[in-house]
Amino acid sequence: MNNKQRVEIRDGSINDIEAAYNLVVELAVYEKEPEAVTASLENYIQDFNDGIFQFLVAQSGNEIVGIAIYYMTYSTWKGKMLHLEDFIVTQQHRRKGIGELLFNAFVARARELDCVLTRWQVLDWNQTALNFYEKIGATIDKDWWTGKLYL
């Protein structure tokens, strides 16, 4: 990471929701699905206040440059786990080590919560992300398909 750039990883708060929402929209554009974001900022505010999800932020100066949105879930085979829903570092701050700091903080949070497992999804074409996960020793399970039912 650039020595001039100090990055703080901290818990996200209600004051960070708009920045987190904007990063999710940026991710959707990167993943070539900007129209797929149908949750509104108001949904994010309500759901955060209701404890549906939590998040970590990577902050450089006054700017939020990355987020990790997660929630508690359960593996019937393994036990308590933390699901990483979205993990984003804004385009201009990638390849500076911020993603690794943010991901490590997510893993530390899972350990603090006595989770036995973390889980997330990655697109098969996102080679940069796949390389990152491989580097940290993660297993990418290609045997399971994701099911969805929109309500």
Enzyme catalytic residues:
133
Residue pointed to by tokens 């036990």: 79
Can you tell me the distance from the alpha carbon of 52 to that of 46, in angstroms, rounded to the nearest whole number?
9
Strand partners, 86: 69
Closest CA to 1 of 100, 103, 134: 100
Can you tell me the distance from the alpha carbon of 143 to that of 133, in angstroms, rounded to the nearest whole number?
17
